[in-house]
Amino acid sequence: MLFKKIVEHNNLPADTEKLGKTHVQNYWQKHDFHRKTDAKRTFLTIKSENSEVLVADDLKPLFVSLLETHPGLEFLKATPEF
């Protein structure tokens, strides 16, 4: 999710696979992440860009990524509900 936000912030192509130090620094400085708590950084990363609250749809990319990458959840891929 953070990678995608950095790509969007820097107006990079959606299929970008690598970010340079400058891209990350630009995003970090825009949001003053060095002055924020871990909880605030997480909130800013998960929420939609122009929103001040989290909604269920904001969490979907997080769960999709977790299900796709966590080896202990491999069995859920074969379950239609997931």
Instruction: Give the chain's mean pLDDT.
Output: 90
For the full predicted model, state whether its pTM sits above 0.75: no
Residue ranges per domain, the chain?
1-46, 54-82
Q: Tell me if residue 8 falls in helix, strand or coil.
A: helix
Condensed to tens digits (0 to 9), the pLDDT of residues 11-27 reads: 999 999 999 999 999 99
